[in-house]
Amino acid sequence: MKLLVDIGNTNLHFLAIKSEEEYEYLVCDKHKLSELSSLIEEKSQVYISSVNQDNLDALLNILKSKNIDFIKYIKPVDFVERIAELNIAIPNLNFLAPDLFLDVLGMDKSTLVADFGTAAKYLFLNKNGEFKGGTLGMGLKSTNKALADSTDLLEEYNLEVPDTFISLNTKDAINIDTIFGSANKLISLYRLIKKEYNEPKLKLVITGRDAGIIEKAFERLEFEEYTLDKLHTFKGMIKALNLKLDI
């Protein structure tokens, strides 16, 4: 069995590939890793993309207890030949983080990917297969946490899509700004890229832990020009490793 792992700053995502047609997707934080130990078979081949050392160490302890000795790390610079085979260009490959690298590889040409995790990453691959870069900022939960940490009177409220766009309620007012603000920013960026880069067929893909919240905001905003794909990063890993699996 091949086990693909995408380790973020908050959660760990697992794609267990059992055959060319069968796979299982799971997600948890490092405190619940022991609950997933049954997913890991002793002769598993493990491929890891990680941006958080503490979460990586927690996983490695589990793998060690399972006597796993096949562990490969995703390093963008190791995939120069594969990138050429896919006919795409990534000019900042030497310092691109593995999660961003996999997001780029998972794209079709003429695509904008918005990955909503601890950070919010917007990445653009043009119609010629050239990675043009993107933007990087705080994710939805990080935004609410930063506001709470910077003030005396505000709490870190849970993310919930409000029913209105203006509110007298403090929790709703904060979530309106965080959620609808992020959704509108993404819609504006999508439309600007279509115009400024002459990309009339540009596709928008949203992914990551909080993509479902953005999808609900899009519904309230009556915006439909997007696809939600929770496995987008794994699509990039499958392409990088040249595995046979359609997800």
Q: Around Cβ 69, how many Cβ atoms within 10 Å?
A: 11
Q: What is the dihedral of CA 11, 114, 228, 197, to 10 degrees?
A: -160
What is the SS3 assignment for 137-184? EECHHHHHHHHHHCCCCCCCCCCCCCCCCCCCCHHHHHHHHHHHHHHH
Look at residue 15 and give its three-state secondary structure: strand
The pLDDT, as a whole number, for residue 35 is 76
Q: Are 26 and 39 in contact (CB under 8 A)?
A: yes
The pLDDT, as a whole number, for residue 66 is 87
The pLDDT, as a whole number, for residue 93 is 94
User: What is the reported pTM?
Assistant: 0.94
Print pLDDT tens along the chain (247 aa): 899 999 999 999 999 998 888 999 999 988 888 777 777 877 889 999 999 999 999 999 999 988 898 999 999 999 999 999 999 999 999 999 999 999 999 999 999 999 999 999 999 999 999 999 999 999 999 999 999 999 999 999 999 999 999 999 999 999 999 999 999 999 999 999 999 999 999 999 999 999 999 999 999 999 999 999 999 999 999 999 999 888 8
- Written as one letter, the residue type at 172 is D
Domains of the chain: 2-73 (3.30.420.40), 108-236 (3.30.420.40)
The pLDDT, as a whole number, for residue 31 is 85
Cα–Cα distance measured from residue 83 to residue 34, given in angstroms and rounded to the nearest whole number:
35
The pLDDT, as a whole number, for residue 181 is 97
